[in-house]
Every structure is written in C-alpha cells, then in structure tokens.
C-alpha cells in the first residue's frame, strides 16, 4: 500500500476519532459538568478502542504479517504509542489553557493535531511495522 493511501486512511479514522473525542468532551464538560482534564482523559481512552481496531484491520493491515509482532505485542505497542502521544497532547493542552489562557474547547481541538501526528509516526514505524 502506498504511504499516501495509508495517510489518507489514517486521516479518515483520525477524523472519526476527533468526532468521538469532541462528542465525549462536550458531553462530559457541557452536560455532566466535568472539568476539562477529566473530559480529556475519558474521551481519549474511548477513542483509542475505536482507533486500535481501525489501525489494525484497515490502515496498517498489510504491514501486520510479521509473526514476531503478535496481537499482544501490537496492543502493548499501541498502548505505548497512545501514552507517548497522549502525554504530548496533554502537556500541550495544559500549556494552552493554563499558561496562554486559550479557550478550553479550542485547546482540545488543537491538541488533536499534536496527538495525531505523533501517534501516526509511532504506529506506522513501531506498532504495525
């Protein structure tokens, strides 16, 4: 599969993940009255379940034939990629809201780009190599 096709597929799934994340953030912050940090954590965890399935079976499906890279290894690597990507996004979110004074909803949206870029690179070159 061409890398450009893989990137387009990742962007499609990423868009769906962004919608899921935004919906959960909105529900938790606006409807349930949770703070932006709790909403952010919950939203990203929920979106990751969706993301793993699409990454494994659609985005990186042709690159997952390595016998050493079992499902459990992929889950471990995917979780690690999530942790690194999420940490970068979370620190970016805190910086925008707490230091710069950015709107919490806008900061959540901008953080998606930080998260997505790092997550794609790690999953492409490590998790589903």
pLDDT, the chain, mean: 88
13-23: pLDDT as tens digits:
989 988 998 99
Q: What is the pLDDT of residue 55?
A: 86
5-46: pLDDT as tens digits:
888 998 899 899 889 989 999 999 999 999 999 998 999 899
55-73: pLDDT as tens digits:
888 888 755 455 566 778 8
Which value, in Å, is the radius of gyration of the alpha carbons in the chain? 15
Predicted TM-score of the model (pTM): 0.70
Candidates 88, 98, 96, 105; CA nearest to 30 is 105
Could you tell me where the DSSP H helices lie in 1-129?
A: 3-26, 36-54, 71-94, 104-122
Residue 87 has pLDDT above 90, yes or no: yes
Mean pLDDT of 47-52: 89
């Amino acid at each position: 599969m061409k890398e450009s096709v893989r990137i387009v597929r990742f962007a499609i799934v990423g868009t769906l993940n962004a919608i899921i994340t935004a919906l959960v953030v909105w529900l938790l912050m606006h409807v349930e009255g949770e703070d932006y940090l709790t909403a952010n954590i919950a939203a990203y965890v929920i979106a990751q379940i969706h993301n793993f399935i699409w990454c494994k079976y659609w985005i990186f499906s042709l690159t997952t034939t390595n016998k050493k890279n079992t499902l459990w290894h992929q889950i471990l690597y995917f979780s690690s990629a999530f942790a690194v990507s999420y940490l970068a996004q979370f620190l970016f979110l805190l910086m925008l809201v707490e230091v710069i004074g950015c709107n919490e909803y806008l900061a959540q949206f901008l953080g998606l780009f930080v998260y997505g870029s790092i997550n794609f690179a790690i999953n492409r070159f490590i998790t589903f190599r």
